[in-house]
Amino acid sequence: MPAKQTPVLVKHCALAIHKSGYCSGQGATKAQQALDIAISRLIQYGFLWKGADQGEPEQIKLTTKGRKAERRHRRESGAKAKTDEWNALYGLIQEDTDEGEDSESQDAEPKKPGESLAQRRRRQTKAKVVSARRAPKRAKRAKKAKRR
């Protein structure tokens, strides 16, 4: 399973985000959002090299700070249980992308050249999250405009 090649630091961070309820949706969508958020936060805090969010999760490169945190996460108690739990969630993402390859022609959004299916789904998920966050602000502005 390719999830075994993903750094433990990323797995544990994504699992914590998934459990926190910060992500919306269910199943593979929620797991993919948790993974995207974890990767972007780890880049922001200097644990991963910039550009790690562009490729597959198996190709993530850790910085020196990230390698130290990786060792800490591997040694902590309950590390195997957390890793196994994330691998099960990652399996949902893999199943979803395998099913999506069959219905790829039905998707409305065009595929960019050189983009894998997982990258495309990640981009679509990010776009949905951003638009969902902006929607309440637009509604408030429209409501204020009607009052005037």
- The predicted-structure confidence for 84-106, as pLDDT tens digits, reads as follows 988 888 888 877 666 655 554 44
* Core vs surface per residue 76-114: b (16+ CB within 10 A) or e: eeeeeebbebbbebbebbeebbeebeeeeeeeeeeeeee
Q: What is the pLDDT of residue 58?
A: 73
Q: Which residue has the tokens 């249980």?
A: 81
User: ∠ CA 119-116-128 to the nearest 5 degrees?
Assistant: 30
Question: What pLDDT score does 65 carry?
Answer: 95
Which of 32-41, 78-87, 132-141 has the weakest average pLDDT?
Answer: 132-141
114 pLDDT tier (thresholds 50, 70, 90): low
Closest CA to 85 of 2, 145, 3: 3
Q: In sequence order, what are the residues at sequence separation of 6 or more whose Cβ sits closer than 8 angstroms to the Cβ of residue 47?
A: 9, 62, 63, 65, 66, 69
**pLDDT averaged over every residue in the chain:** 78
Q: Render pLDDT for 22-55 as a digit per residue (tens, 0 to 9).
A: 888 888 888 888 888 999 999 999 999 988 888 7
Higher-confidence residue of 78 and 128: namely 78
